Structure 1
Amino acid sequence: MTVQHDLPAGQPLYGCMGLGGSWDAAPYTASDIAHAEAAVEAALDAGITAFDHADIYRRGKAEAVFGELLARSPGLRERIVLQTKCGIRQADGGLPGMYDLRGPTIVRRVEESLTRLRTDVIDVLLLHRPDPLADPAETAEALTSLHRQGLVRRFGVSNMSAAQIAELRAHLDLPLVANQLEMSLADRDWVEAGVLVNTSAATGNGFPHGTLEYCRAHDVRLQAWGALAQGRFTGPDAGDSAAGRLVADLAERKRTTPETILLWWLQRHPARIAPVIGTTRPERILACRDAVAREPELTHEEWYELWVTARGVPLP
Structure 2
Amino acid sequence: MSLINSQICLKSYPEHLPTPENFALKQSTVDELNEGEVLCKTLFLSLDPYMRSQIAGRHITAPIKPGDLMFGETVSEVIETRSTQYSKGDVVRCMGGWQSYSIHNANELSAPILHPQPSYALSILGMPGLTAYAGLIWQAQPKRGEVVVIPAATGGVGATAGQLAKQAGCKVVGIVGSEEKRQYAINELGYDECINRNAEVVAERLDELCPDGINIYFDLVGGELLHQVSTRLAIGARVILCGLVAEYNNKERMQGPAPALWIKSRATVFGLVVYDFEPRRQEFINACLPLVEHGELKMREDITLGIENAPYAFAKLMQGNNHGKTLVKVVV
Does the TM-score normalized on the shorter chain lie above 0.5? no
> TM-score normalized by structure 2?
0.27
Structure that is richer in helix per residue: 1
Structure whose CA Rg is larger? 2
> TM-score normalized by structure 1?
0.28
Structure that is richer in strand per residue: 2
